[in-house]
Amino acid sequence: MSRIIATAAIRGAYKCMDRAETMLSEAINRHGRDKAIEFPGTAYALPVILTLTGKRVEKLGQLEEVLWSARGWLPVMPTEQLWLPYLGGALDAGAATLVAHEAVEAMKPLCGISLTSDFWLGPTPDSILREQGIKLVDGRMPGFAACVGALPNDEVAEQLARDLQERNILVFMGSNTAGDTMAAQLNRRRVDMNWETFLVPYGPDTSSIVHALGFACRAAFTFGGLKPGGLKESREILLYNKRRVFAFVLALGEVDDEKYATAAGAINFGFPVIADTDIPEILPSGICEYEHVVANVAHRDMPSRAVEVRGVKIKTVDIPIPVRHGPAFEGERVRKEDLAIEFGGKYTRCFEYLTSRPMDQLQDGLIRVVGPEIKDVPEATRLPLAIYVEMAGRKMQPEFESILERHIHSYLSEPMGVMHLGQRDTVWLRISKKARDAGFRIEHLGTVLLHKLKNDFPAIVDKVQVTLFTDPGEVDKLYPAAVAAYRHRDQRMGALTDEGVDILYSCALCQSYAPNHVCIITPERPGLCGAYNWLDGKAAYEINPHGGNLPVKKIEVTDPVLGQWKGVNDFIRNASNGAFSRFSAYSMINDPMTSCGCFECIACVLPGTGGIMVVDREYQGQTPVGMPFSSLAEMTGGGQQTPGFIGIGTLYILSRKFISADGGLARLVWTTTRVKHRLGDALRARCEEIGKPELYYKIADESVCTELEPLIEHLAAVEHPALEMGEMI
């Protein structure tokens, strides 16, 4: 490592350590050693400290020991004459700095400093990590950038943020340059900052950057199934990050000692530093085969340079529209006062309908607007809209129509300044004044659909033709055909059973994070992330026979009750790298399927009730098993097979095969109001179908109780059928 950087990093590390220690002794004086400290919503305590020291810090007193050992990693403070021949010293100083930073961040609330003031989001709860994790695994979000400091002006800040968003890179922001911050700059430009827009402001101090590294550590725990422990474990977690988490640091503005020290910490994770100033570069050596520090990069070139250095794989599609586009713009709202035109919502009829047609009846690339265009109506007009997509493909099958149509939502959310909510005939679509002023027209909605469909589904989409009806009469004329198609598809999907097919589909998308995990998706059991059902698997295989979804022949039934097939067991032995040899599709007790980390819900046995509970990942409270979701997830995830615990997609609860080997839906004794809400009438209908219409009202939720004893009393009072069914294990 360059001598200047090493010296500055070590000097910075001493400063950070001094500050953390001072803060700690004040905090202990005021609150005592037993005072609890934590980041909200995580099962990994202070995750960077847990990674680097193996210690789970939950009380102030425990920080003393941790800081003391981290101080021991600091090399001797170099004098100008001292020559540092290798990276080691500075890297150790960097690791110690991260420990100090995380201690400081954790102690802030005790000193009356909120981690979430103004637009700052503070540390990330596990629930968000899991939700975003699926984007990391399926490539929608190829990596993250930790932006440290501020840009020369607000406009350049927005430019950089947009350039990163356009590449779908998650942007963490922290620290400041001479008191200004990138997040404040974006805020002044009225840029939406939240998890949906991939722009996440952590905090104004350099210490807040540690939350980005905490995110990385927890990715290794939640998706990689790695465990904290000693030196060996800590090294494995760092290597996991180097290999699988494509992240980098953008150093913006003057780099002071503290920032050098923090950068050295990030280099431990294999995250290179790209700077806009003239700092000494560090070329490839030792642990990395790429540069550690690249200096003097113009802001305009930063994203592409970073992507190149870190080897991030970016999938972007060129679409000839006058605004930026990409998944990072999906979450952006168009506010009422920014509105150029609006369709649907509760005001007008707005629906989308995709259908397949014979090849020779379509003119590929034809996009038409039938009715007024954006320029023909006054600002903020409300019009009806029918988005009619006709497509043809040699390998197209009618059952893929619903899958392609479901993608319209994300496609039309991607252009900057277009907001799309809902699906089918519940669509609400807005186009902003900014987009209109940049030249965006209704016609461009068709351009987006044309390009995205052809790009994402090349094997099944050969021709696409889009008609955008804004003429009320035409919209009403097409509507009955759309409604008939929706109904027909639902009936067809509902009629699909596990017995009715010979082929199931595997999904190994999550293996990039959980190397032994594989989902087996059947018509009656969707993937645990909730994002892939059997038809998705089938279509994905048609599109790419060498991708993450493969057909799995059942061959013969090994156990019809458990849902075991010879073909499946043979397949998973191989696909799990020999880690597992049997999977049951219908049991959470005997050979349950493994769970990676991105499950929508966890189902878990509740001893003493004869039943199970289902908790969704957004639920933050306590559950009757005595653990919040985050702790449950720690037991369930990481690609393990844990009898009594499975990760599931929410809709699996409605399936006739929902833990059917263990007693089925009648076992459900507790769930969250969110799950009840989402399933609503469909859950009521399932209760009726199994001959227990009153079951719906007997299933408790957090508004009834969150502890086991009161739950058992409740179950007895309402005579829940699970009590009669006997213990599950």
Q: List residues near Zn ion by CB under 5 A.
A: 510, 596, 598
Q: Report the DSSP pairing between strands 418-421 and 199-203.
A: unpaired
| Distance separating the N- and C-terminal Cα atoms of the chain | 57
Rounded CA-CA distance 528/512 in Å is 16
How far, in Å, CA of 372 to CA of 374, rounded?
Answer: 7
Q: Which two tokens stand for residue 266?
A: 């990030």
Is residue 531 part of the contact set for ligand SF4 (CB under 6 A)?
Answer: yes
Residues 557-596 interacting with ligand SF4 (rule: CB under 6 A): 596
Check binding of 509 to ligand SF4 (CB under 6 A): yes
Instruction: Choose between 27 and 507: whose C-beta lies nearer to ligand SF4.
Output: 507
In this complex, which beta carbon is closest to ligand SF4, that of residue 274 or of residue 519? 519
- Continuous segment of H or E residues that includes residue 15: helix 3-31
Q: Give the range of 1-9, 301-309, 528-536, 656-664 binding ligand SF4 by CB under 6 A.
A: 528-536
> Among 51, 245, 26, which residue's Cα sits nearest to residue 132?
245
- CA atoms of 41 and 126, how far apart (whole Å): 6
Determine, following the binding rule CB under 6 A, whether residue 529 of this chain makes contact with ligand SF4: yes
User: Which CB, 329 or 532, lies closer to ligand SF4?
Assistant: 532
**Of residues 366 and 651, the one with the C-beta less far from Zn ion:** 651
- Least distance to ligand SF4 from the beta carbon of 652, Å? 11
Least distance between ligand SF4 and beta carbon 664 (Å): 22
Least distance (Å) from ligand SF4 to the CB of residue 641? 14
Contact with ligand SF4 (CB under 6 A): which of 510, 562, 604, 661? 510
Of Zn ion, ligand SF4, none, which one sits near residue 507, judging by CB under 5 to 8 A according to partner kind? ligand SF4
With contacts defined by CB under 6 A, name the span among 233-241, 359-367, 467-475, 523-531 that binds ligand SF4.
Answer: 523-531
Residue at token pair 């200047």: 4
Stretch that binds ligand SF4, among 157-165, 405-413, 483-491, 502-510 (CB under 6 A): 502-510
The whole-angstrom separation of Cα 204 and Cα 226 is 31
CB 251 within 8 A of CB 149: yes
Minimum Å distance from CB 596 to ligand SF4?
A: 5
CA dist 300 and 151 (Å) reads 12
513 makes contact with ligand SF4 (CB under 6 A): no
**Partner from ligand SF4, Zn ion, none binding residue 527, C-beta < 5-8 Å depending on class:** ligand SF4
Residue at 584: amino acid letter: S
Q: Report H helices in 108-153.
A: 126-138
Among 224, 527, 638, 721, binds ligand SF4 (CB under 6 A): 527
> What is the rounded CA–CA span in Å between residue 236 and residue 230?
10
Which of the choices Zn ion, ligand SF4, none does residue 46 contact, using the CB cut-off of 5 to 8 A by kind? none
Q: Does 504 bind ligand SF4 (CB under 6 A)?
A: no
Helix (H, G, I), strand (E, B) or coil at 344: strand
Least separation in angstroms between residue 666's CB and ligand SF4 is 27
Task: Give least dist CB 523 to Zn ion, A.
Answer: 20
Whether 350 and 439 have beta carbons less than 8 Å apart is answered as no
Q: 147 or 598: whose CB is closer to Zn ion?
A: 598
Q: Which is nearer to ligand SF4, 356 or 522 (CB)?
A: 522
Query: 444-480 in b/e burial notation, b at 16+ Cβ within 10 A?
Result: bbbbbbbbbbbebbebbbbbbbbbbbbbeebbeebbe
Residue 526 beta carbon to ligand SF4: minimum distance, rounded to whole angstroms: 8
Q: By CB under 6 A, is residue 507 in contact with ligand SF4?
A: yes
As measured in angstroms, the least distance from the Cβ of 507 to ligand SF4 is 3
Q: Which two tokens stand for residue 333?
A: 């709202």
- Least gap, CB of 223 to Zn ion (angstroms): 7
Of 201, 19, 49, nearest in space to 116 by CA? 201
CA distances from 230 to 49, 50, 237 (A): 12, 10, 11
Minimum distance from residue 603 beta carbon to ligand SF4 (Å) = 15
- Cβ partners under 8 Å of residue 34, min gap 6: 59, 60, 61
Nearer to ligand SF4, 420 or 657 (CB): 657
Tell me, by CB under 6 A, how many residues bind ligand SF4.
11
Q: At what angle do helices 210-222 and 257-267 cross, to 10 degrees?
A: 10
Piece in contact with ligand SF4 (CB under 6 A), picked from 273-281, 503-511, 618-626, 652-660: 503-511
CB of 133 to Zn ion, least distance (A): 7
User: Judged by CB under 6 A, which of 14, 248, 532, 580 binds ligand SF4?
Assistant: 532
Furthest C-alpha separation in the chain: 84
Q: Does 603 bind ligand SF4 (CB under 6 A)?
A: no
| Whole-angstrom distance, CA of residue 471 vs CA of residue 485 | 22
152: DSSP letter:
S
Q: Which does 191 bind (CB under 5 to 8 A by kind): Zn ion, ligand SF4, none?
A: none
Name which of 699, 694, 691 is nearest 715 in CA terms: 699
- Of 195 and 428, the one with the shorter C-beta distance to Zn ion is 195
Q: Pick one of ligand SF4, Zn ion, none as the site partner of residue 532 (Cβ within 5 to 8 A by kind).
A: ligand SF4
Residue 280, helix vs strand vs coil: coil
509 binds, among Zn ion, ligand SF4, none (CB under 5 to 8 A by kind): ligand SF4
- DSSP notation for 352-407: EEEEE--GGG--TT-EEEES--GGGS-TTEEE-EEEEEEEE-TT--GGGHHHHHHT
CB of 101 to ligand SF4, least distance (A): 32
Q: Tell me if 552 contacts ligand SF4 by CB under 6 A.
A: no
CB of 711 to ligand SF4, least distance (A): 29
Distance of CA 313 to the CA centre of its chain: 17
Q: Interface with ligand SF4 by CB under 6 A: which residues?
A: 507, 509-510, 519, 527-529, 531-532, 596, 598
